[in-house]
Amino acid sequence: MFERTTRSLKLTDAGEAYYQTCQRVVNELSEAEAVLAAQRTHTVGRLRVAVPMTFGRTHVMPVINAFCRRHPDLHINMTFADRFVDLFDEGVDVAVRIGGPADYPASLGVRHLGNERLVFCASPDYLQRHGTPQQLDELQQHRAVAYERVDGSTTPWRFIAPDGRIASRTVSHALAFGDSEAQLSAVAAGLGIAQMATWLLQEAEQAGRVQVILPQLALDGLPLYLVWPRKKQLLPKVDALLQAFRQLTIR
C-alpha cells in the first residue's frame, strides 16, 4: 500500500486506487445521508396510496391532483383495488377504506371520513314508464338492479323500518353487477331501481340522469376511513398528504 524511504512515504499504485475507491464510498454515503435528511424535513420522495376503485377515481383523485401540483418533487404510486390492502405487507403509506372495524390496532393511525348515505334511485325515464313507488312494499313490483359481491351473492337492500329499526331485505333482481359504476350505468339507462351511495350518484343526479326516490328510507351506510402506519406520519411527505385529505368530503 505504501512505499517507504528514509525521507518519504507515498502510496503505491494499488494504494492510490484503494484510496480513490474509499473516497468515492465516503462521498456516496454523505450524499445518501443528505438525501435521507432532506426526506425527513421536506416533502420529497415516493408515496404509495391505496384507494377503492370507484371512490378513488371520483373523490380521491381530485385531492391527489391538487396535492401533486403543490408538491412536484413527490412521486405518487396509486393502487386502485376493491379488496383489503395490508399497509405493512404492501408498503402502503396511506389508504382509504370503505367499511372495516371500528377499532384499529395502535400501529395504525385512523381518521373517520364520514359514512356513506344510501338512497334508492332510478332514471326519470324508468319512473315515467313504470311509476314512482311511494312506499317500501311497492318496490317489489319494480325491476331491481343489484350489486353482486365477490362470492356471487347480492347486497341486500337496507332501510329504516316503520318502527325506526334498520332492516334489510334480499330482493329478486333483474340485473346484478359486480361493479358500482356499471350498476349506475344500468340505472341511468332506465333498466330498474337500485340502492346506492349518494357519493356515487352525485354527478348523475346533478345531470338529471337519475333521481332519488323514497327519501324517507335513506340511511347511513358503510363508514369510510383514512388509514396509515402511525410511525410514517413523522415523515413530512406523509403528514402533508394527510393534511390534503382534509379537503375530502363525503356527500
What are the residue boundaries of the structural domains of the chain, listed by start?
A: 10-40, 45-115+223-247, 116-221
* CATH label, 45-115+223-247, candidates 3.10.129.10, 3.40.920.10, 3.20.20.450, 3.40.190.10: 3.40.190.10
Topology agreement, domain 45-115+223-247 and domain 116-221? yes
Residues 78-107 pLDDT 10s: 999 988 899 999 999 999 999 887 788 999
What is the CB neighbour count within 10 angstroms for residue 197? 22
Residue (of 39, 40, 71, 53) closest to 241 by Cα position: 71
Ranges in the chain, pLDDT < 50? 30-32, 34-41
CATH classification code of 116-221: 3.40.190.290
pTM comes to 0.74
| Residues 49-62 pLDDT 10s | 999 999 999 999 99
In this predicted structure, what is the pLDDT of residue 35?
Answer: 45
Helices assigned H by DSSP within the chain: 13-41, 53-55, 61-70, 124-130, 180-188, 198-206, 236-244
For 113, residues 6+ apart whose C-beta sits below 8 A from its C-beta are 96, 223, 224, 225, 226, 245, 248, 250
